[in-house]
Amino acid sequence: MTIRLFNTLSKQKEDFVPTTSGRVGMYLCGPTVYSDAHLGHGKTAVAFDVIRRWFVYRNFKVRFVSNITDVGHITDETSDEGHDRIGERAKLEQLEPMEVAEKYMWNYFHDMEALNVQKPNIAPRATGHILEQIEMVETLIANGKAYERGGSVYFRVRSDPDYGKLSGRKIDELEVGTREDVREDKEDPLDFALWKFAEPEHLMRWKSPWGEGFPGWHIECSAMAIKYLGENFDIHAGGLDLQFPHHEAEIAQAEGAGYKFARYWMHGNMLTINGEKMSKSKGNFTTLQDFFATHDPMVLRLIYIQSHYRSVAELSADTITAATSVLSRFRETRREFVRKLELAMAGHDAAFEKKIDFARAQFETAMDDDFNTPEALAALFAMTKEFNAVAITNNKNSLEMGLETFDMLAGFVFGLFPANTSQATQGKDGLLEGLLEIAIEARKSYRLNRDFKSSDALRERLKTLGVQLEDTVDGTRWKLEA
How far is Cα 402 from Cα 182, in angstroms, rounded to an integer? 62
Question: How far is Cα 458 from Cα 440, in angstroms, rounded to an integer?
Answer: 9
In this structure, which amino acid lies at residue 143? Answer: N
Among 35, 316, 423, 468, binds a second copy (CB under 8 A): 423
- Find the binder of a second copy among 4, 23, 58, 149 (CB under 8 A): 23
**Judged by CB under 8 A, how many residues of this single chain contact a second copy?**
64
- What is d(CA 310, CA 373) in angstroms, rounded to the nearest whole number? 11
- Smallest gap, in angstroms, from Cβ of residue 316 to a second copy? 25
Q: Please give the Cα distance from 244 to 132 (Å, whole number).
A: 23
Look at the alpha carbons of 477, 408, 385, 307 in this order and tell me if their dihedral is positive or negative: positive
Q: Please check whether residue 194 is in contact with residue 257, taking contact to mean a CB–CB distance below 8 angstroms.
A: no
Is the distance from CB of 328 to CB of 296 less than 8 angstroms? no
Which of 48, 67, 167, 198 is CA-nearest to residue 126?
Answer: 67
Is 230 a binding residue for a second copy by CB under 8 A? The answer is yes
Question: 3-state DSSP call for residue 250?
Answer: helix
CB of 377 to a second copy, least distance (A): 27
**Cβ 437 to a second copy, closest distance in Å?**
8
CB count in 10 Å sphere of residue 465: 11
Taking CB under 8 A as the rule, does residue 204 contact a second copy? no
Q: Residue 173: which residues within 8 A CB-CB, separation 6 or more? A: none
52 is an interface residue for a second copy by CB under 8 A: no
Q: Which is nearer to a second copy, 123 or 408 (CB)?
A: 123
Rule CB under 8 A: is residue 411 a binding residue for a second copy? no
Residue 412: which of 376, 365, 387, 378 has the closest Cα?
376
The stretch near a second copy (CB under 8 A) out of 129-137, 178-186, 260-268, 406-414 is 129-137
Provide the minimum distance between the beta carbon of 130 and a second copy in the complex, in angstroms, as a whole number: 6
Q: Smallest Cα–Cα separation from 43: which of 112, 126, 103?
A: 112
Among positions 16, 210, 233, 387, the unique one binding a second copy when judged by CB under 8 A: 233
Beta pairing partners, 235: 26, 264
Q: For residue 467, state whether it binds a second copy (rule: CB under 8 A).
A: yes
Among the residues of 68-211, which ranges form H helices?
A: 83-88, 97-114, 130-142
Write the CB contacts of 78 (distance below 8 Å, at least 6 apart in sequence). none
Minimum CB–partner distance for residue 294 and a second copy (Å): 13
Alpha-carbon torsion, ordered 125, 131, 137, 139, to 10 deg: -130
C-alpha span between 3 and 370 (Å, rounded): 7
- Interface positions, 438-457, toward a second copy (CB under 8 A): 438-439, 442, 445-446, 449, 451, 454
Tell me: does residue 351 bind a second copy (CB under 8 A).
Answer: no
**207 is a site residue for a second copy (CB under 8 A):** yes
For a second copy, the closer CB: 92 or 346: 92
Question: Using the rule CB under 8 A, is 428 a contact of a second copy?
Answer: yes
Closer CB to a second copy, residue 182 or residue 457? 457
Among 176, 343, 351, 435, binds a second copy (CB under 8 A): 435
Interface residue with a second copy, options 63, 186, 236, 334 (CB under 8 A): 63
Residue 258 within binding range of a second copy, rule CB under 8 A = no
Q: Does 96 bind a second copy (CB under 8 A)?
A: yes
- Residues of the shown chain interacting with a second copy in the complex, contacts defined by CB under 8 A: 19-20, 23, 25, 61, 63, 90-93, 96, 98-99, 102-103, 106, 119-125, 127-131, 135, 206-207, 228-231, 233, 423-432, 434-436, 438-439, 442, 445-446, 449, 451, 454, 458, 461-462, 464-467
